[in-house]
Chains A and B, each alone.
Chain A
């Protein structure tokens, strides 16, 4: 399924896991369970030695995956083996892509059923070559915007992104946090119409997810909370979290007061 098709049935729950944690062999089954529990898109992180946008949870997960033998070759094998209906998205740092070669990377993505690519340390200003490679292979390149992104730049990013726009919920790095800022809601409101908005970074509870959807997001991304439960081996709780978050955002969507045009 293409990412844009997935957004026909809003709101979406996007789950992130680090591929290869706890082991490369375990990843396809995990993806399947997360999909069956109700996630609409799965983001698969390629672990990097220096994940500068990530907090301790994903750092440690990346480290475990690398030790468990994850590299870019195994990544694409594992992702190909994860046969699910929902879109799969690559998430990883630019040096890993650069080292592989942009064209080879994009074609590997297409071959292993990856529909979109998120690169947290690649701003639009540096992204032209990867964008061309992704376009050649029909893969969306998804850009990020943050609460401190100025409006003129936000509009440029919206022009560049494809699939959806990833809104970073808060300053700082990924990780579970309890507070949600007004800035996040402002950011959602600042995005021009016409592009689906997915909010991530620090969202871990059904309540937060509902709040984000009520504020106008089309999708919620949950990462560290999933990674944390996988680290603890609590897979039943992981499925439960996915189910509850999905339910929470669906209720929030229904409760939205229809605006009169």
Chain B
């Protein structure tokens, strides 16, 4: 473990983060940062957020002792049940928070990017619940892969806008959302779905997701009378991971970040065969922040790959890049096969079908139980119903 974690309260985590954005986006980011700075200490705002988390999202979510998995791995394993949050994933913790900030700022329209469709659905849900006009950018490739979620978003009253630029996946949907925001920020809030992007997004998203870690801390102390030895979470952009880690950063708890190993770590010219920016990436600027990214030697962003659309992203939030560099977070990988193994194991051992994203975290524990210590927590960031078609299409399952 490492030295004291210190943050530059301005815009950065060590050298990571910042605001590498076109000048037109400067002012919208400033306004968002100052609105958020003010609201996060405002009792009325906080109690409204709490109300929606409880009565709409269904929090607190249980910390569940996984008896069979514990027996299998020869140690105590608890599951943080974010799969039980309304919408089926942790994403709503963030969309509720940001939508309430947007309301206070007088915005009438929400835009979002989505890859798997989970964040798009969570945005469409708050758009309907809090009466925003909602438009979701989604790459054409992802629209094809996630038809069910496209239908869910439309049913919830959101428009899904196909993105045809670049690789036509999540990273391009983010670009398109930034372009839209730079033209329409006066009435529009860009509801970014993970703890990445320019300041204040990484901080704000981490804060809204840290409800996961706050509950977990109380729950494990109540159940076991002590903190866990390790916490395991999957990492796409990093929001469920930093959300559960945040309240444990100063403790002696191993924080294990499982990235998508995809089909391997070989890099072809244009695609990385994984989504493992912390493990395989190098320092660079993507979506407004200096962080670890998958890129070619010239700085062109590579297309990432993972069986889990939510982990299929060539970057990662700057705070995780910093914590990994400090040695506070251990970056690891689970490839598609291990994820499928985790998917099946949790379904059959515990009667819980995890999202393919979360299945990476589960699969990793099956493969490397030794590093978990005696008491571990796995963040089950979402439920797997959305992934059934993908899993069925996979051979050898």
Count the A-B residue pairs with Cβ separation under 8 angstroms: how many? Answer: 117
Check A172/B179 contact, CB under 8 A, given A56-B165, A72-B298, A150-B27.
yes
Please report the C-alpha to C-alpha distance between residue A51 and residue B22 in the assembled complex, in whole angstroms. 10
Check A59/B165 contact, CB under 8 A, given A123-B23, A123-B26.
yes
Instruction: Please tell me if the beta carbons of B23 and A95 are within 8 angstroms of each other in the complex.
Output: no
Question: Which of B95-103, B237-245, B284-292, B327-335 has 4 or more CB atoms under 8 Å from chain A?
Answer: B284-292
Q: Identify the closest chain B residue to A150 (Cβ).
A: B27
Q: Among B23, B24, B285, B295, point to the contact of A172 (Cβ < 8 A).
A: B24
Instruction: Please tell me if the beta carbons of A100 and B299 are within 8 angstroms of each other in the complex.
Output: yes
Instruction: Please tell me if the beta carbons of B183 and A123 are within 8 angstroms of each other in the complex.
Output: no
Chain B residues, CB < 8 A from A52: 21-22, 175, 178-179, 287-288
Check A168/B295 contact, CB under 8 A, given A98-B285, A126-B18, A173-B182.
no
Give the size category of B's interface with A.
35 or more
Q: Among B22, B179, B183, B286, point to the contact of A95 (Cβ < 8 A).
A: B286
Chain B residues, CB < 8 A from A144: 22-23
Find the residue from B21, B23, B183, B287 having the highest chain A CB count within 10 A. Answer: B23
Find the residue from B19, B178, B284, B300 having the highest chain A CB count within 10 A. Answer: B300
Chain B residues, CB < 8 A from A93: 285, 299
Q: Identify the closest chain A residue to B180 (Cβ).
A: A172
Q: Among A48, A56, A73, point to the contact of B300 (Cβ < 8 A).
A: A48
Please report the C-alpha to C-alpha distance between residue A73 and residue B24 in the assembled complex, in whole angstroms. 30
Chain B residues, CB < 8 A from A94: 20, 285
Chain A residues, CB < 8 A from B297: 99
Chain B residues, CB < 8 A from A126: 18-20
Instruction: Please tell me if the beta carbons of A148 and B27 are within 8 angstroms of each other in the complex.
Output: yes
**Contact residues of B: prevailing secondary structure:** mixed
Instruction: Please tell me if the beta carbons of B22 and A48 are within 8 angstroms of each other in the complex.
Output: no
Instruction: Please tell me if the beta carbons of B183 and A171 are within 8 angstroms of each other in the complex.
Output: yes
- Nearest-CB distance from A144 to chain B (Å)? 5
Q: Among B22, B288, B300, point to the contact of A66 (Cβ < 8 A).
A: B300
Instruction: Please tell me if the beta carbons of B295 and A99 are within 8 angstroms of each other in the complex.
Output: yes
Chain B residues, CB < 8 A from A157: 23
Q: Among A59, A71, A97, A121, point to the contact of B22 (Cβ < 8 A).
A: A121
Chain A contacts with B in 179-205, Cβ cutoff 8 A:
none
Does any Cβ of A come within 8 Å of B52's Cβ? Answer: no
Q: Identify the closest chain A residue to B300 (Cβ).
A: A49
Q: Given A52-B288, A95-B284, list of 19 further CB < 8 A pairs?
A: A49-B167, A50-B171, A50-B287, A53-B24, A53-B182, A59-B166, A71-B298, A73-B298, A94-B285, A95-B286, A99-B297, A100-B298, A121-B22, A144-B22, A148-B27, A148-B28, A171-B24, A172-B24, A173-B179
Between A and B, 25 residue pairs with Cβ closer than 8 Å are A48-B300, A49-B166, A50-B166, A50-B175, A50-B286, A52-B178, A53-B24, A53-B179, A53-B182, A60-B165, A72-B299, A73-B298, A95-B293, A95-B301, A98-B284, A99-B297, A121-B288, A125-B18, A125-B19, A146-B23, A157-B23, A168-B22, A171-B24, A171-B183, A172-B183
The 9 closest A-B pairs by CB, nearest first: A99-B299, A172-B183, A96-B299, A53-B22, A95-B285, A49-B300, A148-B27, A146-B23, A146-B24
B residues with CB within 8 A of A: 18-24, 26-28, 165-167, 171-172, 175, 178-179, 182-185, 283-288, 293, 295, 297-301
